[in-house]
Structure 1
Amino acid sequence: MLEAPITSTDAYRYVWDGRVQLAGYSPYRYVPLDDALAKLRDPVLFPGLSPKEPSGVSGIPKDPAQLPVDDVRTRINRPGVPTIYPPVAEAYFAAVALFTPWSAGTLGLQIAAALIAIALTWLLAVQSPRWAALWGWSPIVALEAGNAAHVDVLAALLITAAVIATARRPRLAAILLGAAGSVKLLPLLLLPAFRRRRPIVALSTFIATYVPHLLAVGTLVLGFLPGYLNQEGFDDGSSRSAILALLLPPGARQLVAAVLAIALAAVAFHRTKRDPIALTCCWLYGAALLIATPTYPWYGLPLIALAALARRPEWIAVPLAAYLAYASYGHDTRQGLVYLAAAAVVVSAVTIRHRFVAESGLTAPPLRTNTGGRDETHRPRNLGRTRRAAP
């Protein structure tokens, strides 16, 4: 926490968005370089541009996707475009900014993210202290939450709380999932794992968070999201789906990725009737990352929490692969091979586990749930042998 963010400059955008909201402006309406917000500049965020110096920027550019990512006058990335973050994330930024002096820079967010990571460790420890260490001792969590202050840690907390609440408070679980989707959009991929009317409640919650901003700024509430998807290659698959890129041309990747995503959603909807929801959410989220192959390791923070909750440590290979892909930016083949290796690790672990379970005569590994403040272990029916399944 005592070092400036290392892996990205996203935290500076968080600081700015929170400050803009406290000043009564919408981060969806104004870009950081806009001279209308010049009075909010300080030497930490704008080392090369004082409040009295004009930036020459006014309003939102017509084609923001073509603007450079960085500007030497500010530490905020993409300072020529409006924010990309959904409403719950923006509310979080504003809340942290309320208690953070301007001179502290990103420290307030780093402390907040670290506290959220600790809270999530406790939440996982209530389920299983041993498996909580998979999250609590993770260097990835320390780096991407405590140092880089990525908002994905908040999404991880809400997703985990949603999965845990499903058994006894399904409506609350759906609301938490919708809120997680309003932190980062990726959690909405877990909707197929939530049965009955829960997806409707989750989507209603997600939409409801946008209503105040929609009334205030209209369609500007989309922010830079369309431009971001274009820059990052999500719209046509040109620079994403690195595993598929090893075999398919850019035009075909998008179609194949969509087909795979739909198929996985259908499988998840079917499997959640018989498998623990934590397990379904874990492999569904991890498989989505393997399809999209993002080069940002912090996207994997929710997956680490789900891996701990579902007791599937092999999925940690996916965020680890993201670091190698991050370091291999511009080398598409290398990125594809790195993610392919992560997929091989996951498939190998799943195969070995299923073989061991089959040989032991158990239908599934033991599942421990928390009931009334005490842990109870529910073991599946033994089909003839007494050997215990692997944890």
Structure 2
Amino acid sequence: MVLVVGTVVVGAVVWRFGRGLSVGAVVAVAALCQVPGLTQAPITSTDAYRYVWDGRVQLSGHSPYARVPLDDSLAQLRDPVLFPGLSPSEKSGVTEQTPKNPVDDPRTRINRPFVPTIYPPVAQAYFTVVALFTPWSAGTLGLQIAAALLAIALAWLLAVQNPRWAALWGWSPIVAMEASNAAHVDVLAALLVTAAVILTARRPKLAAVLLGAAGSVKLLPLLLLPAFRGRRPIVAIGTFLASYVPHVLAVGTLVLGFLPGYLNQEGFDDGSSRSAILALLLPPEARQVAAAVLALALAALAFHRTRRDPIALTCCWLYGAALLIATPTYPWYGLPLIALAALARRPEWIAVPLASYLAYASFGHDTRQGLIYLAAAVIVVTAITIRHQLVAKSGLTTAPLPANTGERDETHRPRNLGRAR
């Protein structure tokens, strides 16, 4: 609830006093917002411990796709921070390379220690670089600092486009929680996605490479492919696939790690525990079909609208709508959406990651989660409807911003109402 109130307060401050903000002021406050999270261990999840482990395993010359954290062949990599209940000299009792059991183990802080990693290659490269500069005794602190720096860098990138709207990202309590504290890799995905959208007009090939790299951090950014025209989707997919080549050569089909099992466990494969809004109306078997139809319709609409709308706006509603269809219960999945909402100047979409926090706190209560996400969808649709009505009543249209942003300004100019008599 504190995050909800904090986000509303930030939005109100930005709306009331944001016009006079400078790039330096936005970045400075964004940096200050990241400081508290560095003072304690991750709160919202234990993902950062897995990141630390994956980076450490790669530095040792092994693959986190092929070996599980409790594998005794990696016992020399254990330390009291990651394995408070299991020393390097003790046997874990795990004999299989990829056991079926995905549950946690009290001997380690790493989640799902019986299965290999799920994170794609660019994320793995990031983990490895951070691990190279982080002493084992620091635990997750190196990743927390790295995530904070990425969040600040993204605040600067957005502020260069427009300082006022950049504050929605830089000053967001959600970003502060999930970057400097939880160190979620979604911050890197958000930075790459935002850079791709900004560069798409001037450097289309580089933008496509960045989008593919974002997909190789977390798969969700690949949902934005329909918004990128021409050969850019091909380049993005090529970049994504190329990132896997070194790992395929090293471990073959094991390169998928626990990803298929994770998708099954989280309900992404059949929609049984996802699509909470659709679950209010449909049984599980119909939910998957409805979600697929909606996703295809959104992709087609995005492909059509990107010919006339700014790409930032298309990416914003496409990503946000995808989250409303899938309704993940992990709030950090919404970090790229916050950045896109700031870039597209559509703050109503921040209701979606806020809803995911409330859904996260309501885990196990499916109907409640569905109603929470439904409320977020109502907020988004209401804001869009009001905006369109205001534009229609005033007889105004949006004026374009410079081409490098791919956005439109909030200022308006009158339509041609005919010759004056």
Could you tell me the TM-score, scaled by structure 2's length?
0.88
In 1: Cα distance, 2:397 partner to 2:411 partner: 9
Identity of paired residues, percent?
Answer: 81
Aligned position for 1:88: 122
SS of the equivalent of 1:369 reads: coil
Q: Does 1:6 align with 2:46?
A: no
Q: Residues 48-63 of structure 1 correspond to what in structure 2 (within 5 A)?
A: 48-62=85-99
Q: For each residue in 1:227-281, what CA deviation from the matched residue of structure 2 results, as whole angstroms up to 9, or x when unmatched? A: 0011101111110000000000001100100000000000000000000000000
**Following TM superposition, by how much is the alpha carbon of 1:61 offset from its aligned partner in structure 2, in angstroms?**
3.2
Match status 1:383 vs 2:415: yes
- Considering only aligned residues, what root-mean-square deviation do their CA atoms show, in Å? 1.6
Aligned residue in 1 for 2:66 = 29
Say if 1:88 and 1:183, in contact at 8 Å, map to a contact too.
Answer: yes
SS in 2 for 1:213: helix
- Map 1:198-277 → 2, pairs under 5 A: 198-277=232-311
Q: 2:27: which partner in 1?
A: none
Task: Tell me whether 1:100 sits opposite 2:137 in the alignment.
Answer: no
State the 1:68 CA deviation.
4.3
Consecutive unaligned residues of structure 2, counting only runs of 5 or more, are 1-37
1:25-62 C-alpha deviation (Å, 9 max, x unpaired):
00001000000000000000000000000001133235
Say if 2:401 is the partner of 1:368: yes
Cα shift at 1:2: 1.4
One of 178, 182, 188 as aligned partner of 1:144:
178
Q: Is the 8 A contact 1:370 1:376 kept in 2?
A: no
Determine if contact 1:126/1:370 at 8 Å carries over to the other structure.
no
Equivalent pairs, count: 379
Structure 1 CA distance, aligned partners of 2:196 and 2:52? 27
* SS of the residue 1:24 aligns to: coil
Q: Spell out, residue by residue over 1:89-148, the C-alpha distance to the aligned partner (whole angstroms, 9 max, x if none).
A: 000000000000000000000000000000000000000000000000000000000100
Aligned-pair CA distance for 1:368: 3.0
Report the residue type matching 2:402 in the other structure.
Answer: T
Secondary structure (helix, strand or coil) at the match of 2:224 reads helix
Q: CA offsets per residue over residues 268-297 of structure 1, 9 Å max, x none?
A: 000000000000000000000000000000
Aligned to 1:306: 340
CA–CA distance in structure 2, aligned partners of residues 86 and 123 of structure 1:
25
| Alignment equivalent of 1:351, drawn from 385, 390, 398 | 385
| 2:186 and 2:332 in contact (8 A); partners too | yes
- Map 1:330-341 to 2 at 5 A: 330-341=364-375
In the aligned structure 2, how far is the partner of 1:312 from the partner of 1:378?
10
Instruction: Give the secondary-structure state (helix, strand or coil) at the position aligned to 1:363.
Output: strand
Find 1:317's aligned residue among 330, 339, 351. Answer: 351
Q: Which amino acid aligns with 1:208?
A: A
Deviations 1:195-243 (A, max 9, x none): 0100000000000000000011001000101100111011111100000
C-alpha distance in structure 2 between counterparts of 1:258 and 1:333, whole Å = 21
Which residue identity lines up with residue 387 of structure 2 in the other structure? Answer: R
Asked whether the equivalents of residues 127 and 369 of structure 1 are also in contact (C-alpha less than 8 Å), the reply is no
Residues 30 and 370 of structure 1: CA distance in aligned 2, closer, same or farther (over 3 Å)? same
Counterpart of 1:39 (choices 76, 82, 96) is 76
User: How far did residue 382 of structure 1 move?
Assistant: 1.9
Aligned partner (choices 30, 33, 53) of residue 16 of structure 1: 53
Is the Cα contact below 8 Å between 1:70 and 1:77 reproduced in 2?
Answer: yes
How has the CA–CA distance of structure 1 residues 302 and 378 changed in structure 2, closer, same or farther, with 3 Å as cutoff?
closer
The question of whether the paired residues in 2 share the 8 Å contact of 1:367 and 1:379 is answered with: no
Conserved? CA contact 2:202–2:404, under 8 Å:
no
Deviates more, 1:52-61 or 1:158-167: 52-61
User: Structure 1 unaligned runs (5+)?
Assistant: 386-391
Amino acid at match of 1:188: L
The answer (yes or no) to whether the contact 1:361–1:384 under 8 Å persists in 2 is no
Relative contact order, higher structure (CA 8 A, sep 6+): 2
Aligned counterparts of 1:232 and 1:370: Cα–Cα separation in 2: 40
- Name which of 307, 320, 325 aligns with 1:291: 325
Distance 2:258 2:378 in 1: 35
